[in-house]
């Protein structure tokens, strides 16, 4: 019973924290405050019910809001297509969960995540410049920056006062207070009340519908736009999955538990898919809200569901009050969120990390801010992979040993060359082996000692096959010494029987003995 009370209290506390953020992200996305609130309600409920992290609180997040805003800008006045994108992103997340792709998220290099998160933080800050100044906002980062001087000239004094007060509360509220009352909530209520009593004429959220949202059928779109729809859907699915699973890891470290990545992605996917039927924006596991839920005593799924129910009650009974919240207040809250997203951990050590890590982080950051989020992650992972292959290839050793016979007995021209390979033999290292064997001319037997090869890929197998063929044309016989597992792998792909015609051994002694037999036959 005590645990249930803790979960109820934690859920209500998480809802209080989520309220201003849901409103702000809804407005920032371009779908409206109500879309942000229902995104927090629907996703928060279904992700808690079906997800794999019992303490996780889900709702609209910075990265997901930025992509949703891009989708709305790409399909203006076509909300049904935007909802189709959200619906498909949810289905893709479910498929990620079903195939177990969540376990691979941990292999994304930290500089990629750092550059991406810092980039998202900067995007949020830049896109809030216009609302902060009381000027109509743009959806493009580049256009916002190029027009900033004209924007400053049009700044509204009342909006600036409201935004500065909000920003001051967000940054300067003592931790002793924010431990019990979030600074965003203080700013939301205090500054909104301030604008009402001072009769400031500033842009507000506007009318928020009272009651349950209307049902929308998302699967209505132009087939000619399918490519853009799928690209945005995949982007949302990837970002939502990464965001959620990273938050799950934070929850694991705090609660000393282990989340289920498959269930988590399925739960997130169900939640985001359902969001699309009610005009709500998508989201992911939210780190700050999850941490507050845990610190408030939340231990089970009930806390996440209570968080959603609390937000629903607020919408049903307090919507008229929320409609009076100034947009400048939300911009101040979001600017603080943008600064919080920046990866200060990496930024503090930028001058101490390797050039490769700095290159990856900077590239991902710039691509995220000025080009495209999914391209940024893709390019970052590609650069990281190439550099990792290079490092692994440097650690692979190929040593050559020559003798006139297997036992150093002087037998006419029956030279043997042994190439011992230590490390991984794959597409990144096999070219070195090819180059080494190209130089062989006088030997009659080559032994490839792959006993210490830890990894053998299909590129290496096919290259070895080509090497055997080329050496055979030069009357040089190739012997392989390798592990049982590698032999099985080779024979499984040996469709034309090239390897079966050559001798393969499990021990070097057996290969040496075989060369001796060949020498004896040659003498006879």
All residues at 6 or more sequence positions from 168 whose CB lies less than 8 Å from its CB, including other chains: none
Angle between helices 62-74 and 226-255 (to 10 degrees): 170
Nearest residue to 249 via CA among 406, 5, 53, 443? 53
What's the CA gap between 461 and 456, in Å, rounded?
A: 7
Counted residue by residue, the chain has a size of 524
All residues at 6 or more sequence positions from 356 whose CB lies less than 8 Å from its CB, including other chains: 387
What is the token pair recorded at 358? 């700095």
Nearest residue to 126 via CA among 170, 62, 188? 62
pLDDT at res. 102: 75
For residue 397, which phi and psi values (nearest 5 degrees)? -110, 135
Nearest residue to 447 via CA among 471, 470, 481, 488? 481
pLDDT at res. 480: 85
Instruction: Catalogue all structural domains in the chain, each as residue range(s) with its CATH number.
Output: 2-350 (no CATH), 396-523 (3.30.750.24)
**Dihedral, CA atoms, 270, 68, 233, 38, nearest 10 degrees?**
10
Nearest residue to 138 via CA among 126, 154, 152? 126
pLDDT at res. 1: 54
pLDDT at res. 118: 87
All residues at 6 or more sequence positions from 388 whose CB lies less than 8 Å from its CB, including other chains: none
Cα–Cα distances in Å, from 305 out to 43, 46, 112, 288?
10, 8, 33, 17
Helix (H, G, I), strand (E, B) or coil at 211: coil
pLDDT at res. 2: 53
Across 277-293, b (16+ Cβ under 10 Å) vs e yields bbbbbbbbbbbbbbbbb
Angle at 147 between CA 141 and CA 148, to 5 degrees: 85
Q: What's the N-to-C CA distance of the chain in angstroms?
A: 91
pLDDT at res. 522: 59
Nearest residue to 87 via CA among 230, 207, 195? 230
Mean pLDDT by 10 residues, the chain (524 residues): 76 82 85 90 94 92 87 87 93 93 76 84 88 84 88 90 91 85 83 89 77 75 80 90 84 83 94 94 88 80 92 83 82 85 85 87 91 81 82 68 46 64 76 71 76 82 81 81 85 76 82 75 56
The rounded Cα 277 to chain-centroid distance in angstroms is: 25
pLDDT at res. 410: 43
């Amino acid at each position: 019973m005590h645990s249930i009370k803790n979960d109820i209290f934690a859920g209500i506390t998480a809802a209080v924290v989520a309220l201003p953020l849901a409103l702000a992200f809804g407005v920032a996305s371009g779908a409206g405050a109500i879309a942000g609130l229902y995104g927090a309600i629907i996703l928060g409920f279904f992700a808690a019910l079906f997800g794999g992290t019992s303490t996780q609180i889900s709702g609209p997040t910075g990265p997901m809001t930025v992509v949703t805003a891009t989708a709305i800008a790409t399909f203006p006045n076509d909300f049904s297509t935007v909802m189709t994108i959200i619906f498909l992103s949810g289905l893709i997340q479910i498929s990620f969960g079903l195939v177990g792709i969540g376990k691979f998220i941990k292999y994304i290099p930290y500089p990629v995540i750092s550059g991406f998160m810092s980039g998202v933080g900067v995007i949020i800050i830049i896109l809030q410049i216009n609302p902060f100044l009381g000027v109509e906002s743009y959806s493009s980062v580049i256009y916002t920056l190029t027009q900033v001087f004209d924007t400053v000239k049009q700044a509204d004094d009342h909006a600036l006062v409201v935004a500065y007060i909000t920003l001051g509360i967000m940054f300067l509220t003592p931790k002793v207070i924010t431990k019990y009352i979030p600074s965003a909530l203080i700013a939301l209520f205090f500054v909104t009340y301030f604008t009402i009593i001072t009769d400031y004429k500033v842009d507000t959220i506007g009318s928020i519908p009272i009651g349950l949202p209307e049902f929308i059928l998302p699967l209505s779109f132009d087939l000619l736009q399918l490519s853009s729809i799928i690209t945005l859907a995949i982007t949302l699915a990837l970002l939502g999955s990464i965001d959620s699973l990273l938050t799950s890891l934070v929850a694991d470290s705090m609660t000393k538990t282990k989340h289920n990545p498959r269930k988590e992605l399925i739960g997130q996917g169900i939640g985001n898919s359902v969001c699309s039927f009610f005009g709500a924006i998508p989201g992911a596991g939210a780190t700050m809200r999850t941490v507050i839920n845990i610190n408030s005593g939340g231990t089970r799924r009930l806390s996440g569901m209570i968080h959603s129910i609390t937000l629903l009650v607020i919408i049903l009974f307090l919507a008229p009050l929320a409609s009076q919240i100034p947009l400048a207040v939300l911009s101040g809250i979001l600017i603080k969120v943008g600064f919080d997203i920046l990866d200060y951990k990496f930024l503090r050590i930028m001058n101490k990390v390797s050039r490769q890590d700095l290159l990856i982080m900077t590239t991902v950051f710039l691509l995220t801010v000025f080009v495209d989020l999914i391209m940024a992650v893709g390019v970052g992972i590609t650069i990281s992979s190439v550099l990792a292959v290079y490092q692994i290839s440097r650690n692979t050793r190929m040593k050559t040993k020559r003798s006139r016979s297997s036992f150093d007995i002087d037998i006419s021209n029956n030279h043997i060359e042994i190439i011992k390979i230590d490390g991984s033999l794959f597409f990144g290292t096999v070219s070195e082996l090819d180059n080494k064997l190209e130089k062989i001319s006088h030997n009659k037997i080559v032994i490839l000692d792959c006993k210490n090869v830890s990894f053998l890929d299909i590129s290496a197998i096919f290259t070895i096959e080509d090497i055997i063929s080329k050496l055979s044309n030069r009357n040089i016989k190739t012997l392989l010494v390798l592990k049982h597992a590698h032999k099985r792998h080779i024979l499984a792909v040996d469709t034309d029987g090239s390897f079966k015609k050559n001798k393969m051994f499990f021990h070097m002694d057996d290969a040496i003995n075989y060369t001796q037999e060949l020498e004896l036959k040659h003498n006879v």
